[in-house]
Amino acid sequence: MKQKNSNLLPSERVNQEVQIRRDAETNIAFGCPPEERKIQDLINYGIVNINKPSGPSSHLIADYVKKILNLKKTGHSGTLDPKVTGSLPVALEDATRIVQTLLPAGKEYVALMRIHDTPPEEKIRKTFKKFLGKIKQLPPVRSAVKRRLRSREIYYSEILEIKENYVLFRVGCEAGTYIRKLIHDMGLDLGSGAHMVQLIRTKAGPFKEEKWHTLQDLTDAYEVYKKENNPEPLKKIIEPFENAVKYFPKVWIMDSAVSNICHGAPLATQGISKLTKDVSPNTQVAILTLKGELVGLGTAKKTTKEILSTNEGIAVKTEKIFMGREVYPKQK
């Protein structure tokens, strides 16, 4: 499905322009670019964007993935109702801790709405405009959260088709927005009521419909890997877990800084080689090696401009480390 440029989640609108602080090279003897990982390393630090079918719960889908790949653990990035289909990123093995970063990420859905009478098209479009930006929403009676009125943001909505009393539309929204309730509330505004007929999640943060796969796709690819020793089909399905932080502000660190970070030290400004333009204090940033490997996550203490202009102080307070301590040696 093609989209207009305005139909972007907030994370997709960030300024990812890279600023060079200090030119540096990386030693090919240590680590590995994510796209060149061996299949077992990819499985241990990978994410599968499953096109969830209608019926099973999100937890059950994650369990299916675990059994298909013979893993010890998997984790999904946010619950979809059993009848809802679409993008469900499932993290594998040591990548499961990364799903926490995806929980608050924006989501996009394509929904089919049935209005309980047949209002004029102009009235329908007027109602849709009312439900843009910050809205108040009371979660449904059967929901996983406390039932109290709360604020949620609708980033964009686009009517794709109106046919009699059916409306097909796309909506980008803040995590935790209930689309079924959104449709119900729009029905009340129309004066006749409305209900959701079908819902597909087309984006879960950086994971999109263009790169989702079915459970059968995964099963077939794993069988090819096991029986024919051919990992290529599986490599096309399992994404490096670095993709989960695709839209995060980023800092790339020199090889000499990696071991210290892996041992829990904060990131000093002088350890940074380059960074994106959108780094600012109190924002979560991804710490990467010069090969693009995710070392960990932390909270920035300076702006991009400040990091570029000084050689002193702490740039990022490290909080969650993903890379093993043995990957890069401690440098004297």
> Which residues are catalytic, by number?
81
Dihedral sign of CA atoms 222, 223, 226, 231 in order: negative
Half-sphere exposure of 10 (CA within 13 A, CB side): 12
| 95/72 Cα distance (integer angstroms) | 12
Asked if 69 contacts 222 with a C-beta cutoff of 8 angstroms, the reply is yes
Residue 191: count of CB within 10 angstroms of its CB:
12
**CA distance from start to end of the chain:** 53
Q: Compute the C-alpha angle 300/247/17, nearest 5°.
A: 80
| 57/134 Cα distance (integer angstroms) | 29
| 172/193 Cα distance (integer angstroms) | 22
